[in-house]
Amino acid sequence: MNDMTPTREQREAKLEGMGCKRKRVEDIRFTQGKGNYVDDLKLPGMLHGDFVRSPHAHARVKKIDDTEALKVPGVLAVITAETLKTVNLAWMPTLAGDVQMVLADGKVLFQNQEVAFVVATDRYAADDGINKVIVEYEPLPVVIDPFKAMDADAPVLREDLAGKTSGAHGPRKHHNHVFEWTVGDKDLTDAAFRKADVTIKEMLSYHRTHPSPLETCQCVCSFDKIKGELSIWGTFQAPHVIRTVVALISKIPEHKIHVISPDIGGGFGNKVGAYPGYICAAVASIVTGKPVKWVEDRIENLTATSFARDYHMTTEIAATREGRVTGLRVHVLADHGAFDACADPSKWPAGFFNIVTGSYDFPTAHLSVDGIYTNKAPGGVAYRCSFRVTEAAYCIERAMDILAQKLGMDPAELRLKNFIRAEQFPYHSALGWEYDSGDYHTAMRKMMETVDYAGLRKEQALLRAAFKRGETREIMGLGVSFFTEIVGAGPSKNCDILGIAMFDSCEIRMHPTGAGIARVGSKSQGQGHETTWAQIIATEIGIPADDIMVEEGNTDTAPYGLGTYGSRSTPVAGAAIAMAARKIRAKAQMIAAYKLEVHEDDIEWDIDGFRVKGLPEKTMSMKDICWAAYNSVPPGMEPGLEAVSYYDPPNMTYPFGAYICVMNIDVDTGVYKVRRFYALDDCGTRINPMIIEGQVHGGLTEAFAIAMGQEIRYDDEGNVVTGSFMDFFMPTAVETPHWETDFTVTPSPHHPIGAKGVGESPNVGGVPAFSNAVNDAFSFLGSTHIQMPHDYWRNWKAAKDLGVFA
Amino acid sequence: MIPGPFSYHRPATLAEAVNLLSTLGDEARPLAGGHSLVPMMKLRLASPEHLVDLHGVAGLKGIQRRGDKIVIGAMTTQHELLASDDIGKSLPILHETALLIADPQVRYRGTIGGNVANGDPGNDMPALMMVLSASYRLEGKSGAREVAANEFYQGAYFTALEPGELLTSISIPLPAAGHGYAYEKLKRKVGDYATAAAAVVLTMAGGKVATCKIGLTNLSETPLLAEDAAKAVIGTSLDPATLKQAAAAAEAIMSPAADARGPVEYRKHIGGIMVTRALQRAAGRAG
């Protein structure tokens, strides 16, 4: 060895593999304005479509007159439900087993529902056309309050379901009922409540909000009449699923449908499902023979494409007087709006809400969910969430605080007392999940020590005393949240979308010079897959991450994947990548042994190549093996170095975390100040700590927004009153608190690299931390639960209702 | 979010601009920073057939001292106000307020003339202009006239501007040396209009308030001058009872609408608190 020989550390560092804070390769184009988004696409002769939308929340459509619109220069066509009926597309299936109007068919069911699609030579002409379409409506009574939807005399919303006593998920109890879903042992749970020393019961609402990605939903559809092929560029989080759905509803053969997701400016669940805009643009392209672009504006995005949450959770816990939980009972009223357009795995009408037992060892639990229709936009999607896990985490974390208050116990202490213990993993929850791994006590204690939890409680006690003496108008709250997520959907035994198992996939091709391409079935919307996927491969096969190009989103080139949402990419696609890389390495080992003239078992892996056991100088680098794969493979072996892996995960993964929010509130104005927010995440093996930190910052900012003001609110007539960023709380850097992040590492035992996924954890765990902080602040004044969002005026109202101004 | 068709005009002189506006009549709107008008056009809540862009008009920009007055050209941007040392020294409340308007990007485009002339009750500068006894120069086909800020606002988006008239400059008498000032604004986030805001300019003598003016933003259809509240504090040392009385007097003239910022009761309550806090802070600054 001479001095130029790189050390092991240098060879390792050169790979920029797992564990490296590798800079995001996609940022080179994003920070220079060189990203390629759907709206950047301009095809020759491209037309533009835009919607006439309903001003009413519930009305009969008496007449649509397009005479004047068609006279507008540039307007070519006005498509209505009647047009779509000729191709049997006036309605479309939803991922949740319901059907949804593409364009208003006889009536409208929510404000801003799509009524007609105007196609024109440019966007301005399309909008001019919209303003000339005359629609005659006959307003009908509206149902906005979910608690009134199943009143006996509630207006009938879905006339298309008349007489249908059962839907995709079993019997329907009422004309505005979608489904009932029950899990758990009712009798055992009822018995636990009968025997309990202490019980709590509270209706916890998780209000309706919206993922509101920076880039709205959009597509360009181009139908080639000669070839009979349909190309769709769109903001799709799951491009292959879109291709299959289009094949199923359009009857165009699937190989003649090309779906391409270019760069996507955030999805957060908003871009999983199929929307009327996609269907209308495709039909318009088929009719006109020209490419048609449809791009939502912000108001349309907030008011028409999928919302999130709107879960109203009546929650009860049974416990002993010492604070051991003995039973959990939850009933959810789930407001789906006009159509059940959830984007959950098909057999899960309430997603994975049965993770609601959280991080605690509940001996028994029972859950029932009633889905209902109202005159609101359809949904709801998983907003940075693994299918209703955010709602479940909020439910249990808020309820644990309420129980602590009733018991007169510290909420952190109550949690420590009831955590599933490290030795109980794999743990079988009362509602049917098998938690893979965890060490909750260690994470919780680390959080408490880092922030000096005991010291903060002392400070709070002093401030409360000063408040009662009239010396201050500020109150202080500590919001503890300890969440367990369930992500990585999912095993084919229980997860599918429209019958397609929720595996994911990777194809790796190594080129002769030692560089390669990896194509993956996931689709980044900002998560940084091009960076992290290459890091997994770098570590697995010893090729620098910079020499691996990652490609996603083109259904013609990427292997079939179920897309990116629900924190599933690392648990599922990440595993497929590692498995494909291992296939590459296995073949490389045979080539290396042949070239080194030793038996395969006599060589071993060493960072970036193979070496002969006992003879460390005798090596062959992976780069050299790539070359050899194209000219001198062992006799009988096929040349080339490629691998494909389809990974069906054996189980979900269960990331967890301990969060705390320290907040002061001025009772006179309701203005809050987040003094400190500490987030400890355990997502198993950490692929890129910098990207994890970025993900946590982003998710916490969303959690902050949701808990402290972000909502889609309707007035009694069904008008959306928060339909723009003036009123829909989208915090800027100025409002956003400072985030402190930390971690523990408890690898997933069943995942090839032990990674669990992290993207959604901060949203899931953050919301209860904020809400618990507000509730904790007010608790000494006698309140039990204050509903979200906790914006200024509602905090003031809470103070007023508690007699602070008396 | 796509505006309807309109014609665009870019006059080079004031006479040309005035001529265009009076000839084109109601269908024409002057365009300054565009941060109120353009969003309205995108929503098609406003569909003017003609936009008369004032950016090419000579002489509408700049900050000058004329005797005991500061004269600010209507097309002076909020950013330019903030960059002016002259304003910082003689009218520091303008800096404090401009910094609470939207965000830096908006302040690069948004003009003081547009802010005061549009008649939007959410705009921050009008109440301040009333407190400072400013006057506006309005120029039309029949000549120029001066209107006091106090008499300019008639209702939401209704002002003393006659059809074809342009607000060309603002003159503000220099406040007394050693005056105290404060603009208190509660908003939900950067870029939001005030839930409630109060502007105070006062002088102190012997520990007591000698003169005082109080203005209110976004608490009625127009900016308000809270005269009873100001009267209540004159001659006092702003003791808690006086402050309470001033807040109550100010609340008595507020009539905000309920909106996503909160119900009427909350917005008035916040208005009272903004008055109290502005008075206290202004007094602390008075020399």
Q: Which of A222, A215, A220, A363 shows the shortest CA–CA distance to A285? A: A222
Cα–Cα separations (whole angstroms), residue B144 to A554, B18, B26: 65, 11, 20
Query: Which residue is listed with tokens 């198992």?
Result: A501
Q: Which fold has domain A307-489+652-801?
A: Aldehyde Oxidoreductase; domain 4 (3.30.365)
Domain(s) of CATH 3.30.365.10: residues in chain A: 8-35+504-647, 307-489+652-801
Q: Are strands A134-139 and A59-65 parallel, antiparallel or unpaired?
A: antiparallel
Average pLDDT over residues A543-558: 98
What would the CATH number be for the domain defined by B7-52? 3.30.43.10
The CATH H-level superfamily of B180-285 is CO dehydrogenase flavoprotein, C-terminal domain (3.30.390.50)
Q: Please count the CA atoms within 13 angstroms of the CA of A208 that sit on its side-chain side.
A: 27
Q: From chain B, pick out residues whose CB is under 8 angstroms from the CB of A735.
A: 189-190
Average the pLDDT over A710-734 and give the result. Answer: 96
Contact state of B189 with A734 under an 8 Å Cβ cutoff: yes
Decide yes or no: CATH 3.90.1170.50 for domain A38-141+216-264+271-303: yes
CA distance B128 to chain A (A): 23
What are the boundaries of each domain within chain B?
Answer: 7-52, 63-173, 180-285
Tens of pLDDT along A449-493? Answer: 999 999 999 999 999 999 999 999 999 999 999 999 999 998 999
What token pair was written down for A741?
């992040």
Q: Of A20, A221, A385, A661, which one is the catalytic site residue?
A: A385
> Contact, A58 vs A718, CB < 8 A?
yes
Mean pLDDT for A492-500 is 91
Beta carbons within 10 angstroms of residue B208's beta carbon: 13
Alpha-carbon distance B2 to nearest alpha carbon in chain A (angstroms): 6
CA distances from residue A610 to A586, A798, B270 in whole angstroms, order as listed: 11, 67, 72
Strand partners, B48: none
pLDDT for residue B217? 98
Q: Which residues of A touch B248 (CB under 8 A)?
A: none
Specify burial of residue A331 (Cβ count, 10 A radius: 0-12, 13-18, 19+).
middle
Annotated catalytic residue within A22, A384, A585, A686: A384
Taking the C-alpha atoms of residue B113 and residue B170, their distance in angstroms, rounded to an integer, is: 8
Angle at A443 between CA A439 and CA A446, to 5 degrees: 145
For residue A143, give both structure tokens.
Answer: 């149902």
Would you call A218 a catalytic residue per the annotation? no
Amino acid identity of residue B262, one-letter, is G
Cβ pair A722:B192 closer than 8 A: no
pLDDT, position A4: 80
CA–chain centroid gap for A462, Å, is 41
- Structure letter (DSSP) for residue A365: E
Q: Which residues of B touch A721 (CB under 8 A)?
A: 260
User: What SS3 state is found at A267?
Assistant: coil
Count of CB atoms within 10 A of residue B82's CB? 16
Q: Can you tell me the distance from the alpha carbon of A309 to that of A331, in angstroms, rounded to the nearest whole number?
A: 15
**Residue A224 to chain B, least CA–CA distance (Å):** 30
Residues 6 or more apart whose CB falls under 8 angstroms from that of A427 comprise: A361, A420, A434, A435, A438
DSSP H/E element including A243: helix A239-250
Q: What percent of chain A has pLDDT over 70?
A: 100
- Of all residues in chain A, the percent with pLDDT exceeding 90 is 96
pLDDT higher at B1 or A778: A778
Alpha-carbon gap, residue B21 to A370, rounded angstroms: 61
Dist CA A201 CA A185 (whole Å): 19
- Which residues does A contribute to its contact with B (CB < 8 Å)? 50, 123-124, 126-128, 131, 297-299, 668-671, 709, 713, 721-722, 726-727, 729-732, 734-735, 791-793, 796-797
pLDDT band at A498 (very low <50, low <70, confident <90, very high): confident
Q: Which among A669, A726, A732 has CB closest to B270? A: A669
A20 is catalytic: no
The one-digit pLDDT tens for each residue of chain B (287 residues) are 899 999 999 999 999 999 999 999 989 999 999 999 999 999 999 999 999 999 999 999 999 999 999 999 999 999 999 999 999 999 999 999 999 999 999 999 999 999 999 999 999 999 999 999 999 999 999 999 999 999 999 999 999 999 999 999 999 999 999 999 999 999 999 999 999 999 999 999 999 999 999 999 999 999 999 999 999 999 999 999 999 999 999 999 999 999 999 999 999 999 999 999 999 999 999 98
Q: Which of A303, A792, A800, A801 to mutate to test the interface with B (most CBs of B within 10 A)?
A: A792
**Residue A234 to residue A259: CA distance in whole angstroms:** 7
Is the Cβ–Cβ distance between A792 and B188 less than 8 Å? Answer: yes
Q: Which residue type sits at A577?
A: I
Please enumerate in sequence order all residues whose Cβ is within 8 A of that of A53, keeping only pairs 6 or more positions apart, or say none. Answer: A111, A112, A113, A114, A115, A300, A304
- Asked whether A184 and A354 are in contact (CB, 8 A), the reply is yes
| pLDDT at res. A788 | 98
**Count of alpha carbons within 13 angstroms of residue B1, beta-carbon side:** 11
Confidence (pLDDT) at B104? 94
How many residues are listed for chain A in this entry?
806
Q: Which of A651, A658, A678, A675 is nearest to A761 (CA)?
A: A658
Give the three-class secondary structure for A672: strand
Contact B191 A123 (CB under 8 A): no
Strand partners, A609: A621
CATH code of domain A8-35+504-647: 3.30.365.10
The pLDDT tens digits for A179-200 are 999 999 999 999 999 999 999 9
**Contact criterion met (CB < 8 Å) for A735 and B189:** yes
Chain B residues with at least one Cβ partner in A under 8 Å: 1-2, 4-5, 44, 103, 186, 188-192, 195, 259-263, 266, 269-270, 273
Backbone angles phi, psi at B116, to 5 degrees: -85, -25
State yes or no: pLDDT of A1 exceeds 80. no
DSSP β-ladder status, A292-295 and A257-260: unpaired
**Cα distance between the two ends of chain A:** 83
- Element spanning A99, H or E: strand A99-101
Determine the residue among B41, B188, B276, B280 to mutate to test chain A binding: the one whose Cβ has the most chain A Cβ atoms within 10 Å. Answer: B188
Does the annotation count A384 as an active-site position? yes
C-alpha A593/C-alpha A604 separation (Å) is: 10
What is the distance in angstroms between the Cα of A791 and the nearest Cα belonging to chain B? 8
Question: What residues of B are in contact with residue A69 (Cβ under 8 Å)?
Answer: none
The pLDDT tens digits for A38-61 are 999 999 999 999 999 999 999 999
Contact across the interface for B266 and A797, Cβ inside 8 Å? yes
**For residue A2, what pLDDT band results from cuts at 50, 70 and 90?**
low
| Least CB–CB distance from A732: residue in B1, B190, B260 | B190
Q: A132 to chain B: nearest residue by CA?
A: B4
Residue of A nearest to B266 (CA): A793
Which of B148, B127, B93 has the alpha carbon at shortest distance from B229? B127
**Other CB atoms within 10 Å distance of the CB of residue A431:** 22
**Which residue among B190, B266, B269 sits closest to A735, beta carbon to beta carbon?**
B190
Q: How far is CA B211 from CA B125, B172, B238, in A?
A: 21, 17, 13
Q: How far is A793 from chain B (nearest CA, A)?
A: 5
Peptide bond into A789 cis (omega under 30): yes
Residue A614 CA to its chain's centroid (Å) = 49
d(CA A300, CA B92): 42
Distances (CA, A) of A282 to A94, A611, B100: 17, 56, 46
- Residue A504 CA to residue A145 CA, distance in Å, equals 40
Taking each continuous run of H as one helix and of E as one strand, the counts in chain A are 18, 35
For B63-173, which CATH class?
alpha beta
Query: Tokens in use for A623?
Result: 């780069």
Residue appearing with tokens 């080179």: A28
Six-digit token pair at B276?
A: 């109290």
Contacts of B270 in chain A (CB under 8 A): 669
Place of tokens 């001025």: A666
CB A506 within 8 A of CB A523: no
Give me the residues paired with residue A224 across strands: A229
Token reading at B108: 């690069």
- What number of other Cβ atoms are within 10 A of residue A187's Cβ? 9
Give the H/E segment covering residue A234.
strand A229-234
Residues 6+ apart with CB under 8 A from A265: A35, A37, A213, A214, A215, A235, A525, A526
Residues of chain A with CATH 3.90.1170.50: 38-141+216-264+271-303
Which of A713, A722, A731 is opposite residue B189, by nearest beta carbon? Answer: A731
Reported as a single tens digit per residue, the pLDDT across A586-643 is: 999 999 999 999 999 999 999 999 999 999 899 999 999 999 999 999 999 999 999 9
- A237 is known as an active-site residue: yes
CB of A222 within 8 A of CB of A285? yes
Contact A791 B5 (CB under 8 A): no
Report the C-alpha dihedral over residues A485, A490, A493, A497, rounded to 10 degrees.
120
Q: How far does the CA of residue A295 sit from the closest CA of chain B (Å)? A: 11
